[in-house]
Amino acid sequence: MGLENNFFDLVINNFMIDLMPEETFDKIAQEFYRVLKPGGIVVISIFSFGKKRVNKFWLWVADNFPELLTGCRPVSFTTHLIKAGFKIENEIELSQNTFPSLVIKAQK
Q: Residue 101 domain-assigned? A: yes
Q: What is the CATH number of the domain that holds 84?
A: 3.40.50.150
11 by DSSP, 3-state: which? strand
Region 36-65 average pLDDT: 94
> Of 29-33, 37-41, 58-62, which gets the smallest average pLDDT?
58-62
Q: Residue 84 domain-assigned? A: yes
Expressed as residue numbers, the domain containing 51 is 8-107
Q: Residue 36 domain-assigned? A: yes
Domain count, the chain: 1
User: Could you report the per-residue pLDDT of 86-107, keeping only the tens digit for each?
Assistant: 999 999 999 988 999 999 999 9
DSSP secondary structure of 25-59:
HHHHHHHHHHHEEEEEEEEEEEE---SSGGGHHHH
Q: Residue 55 domain-assigned? A: yes
pTM beyond 0.85, yes or no? yes
Dihedral sign for Cα 1, 75, 67, 52, please.
Answer: negative
Helices (H) and strands (E) in the chain, counts: 3, 4
Determine the pLDDT at residue 1.
55
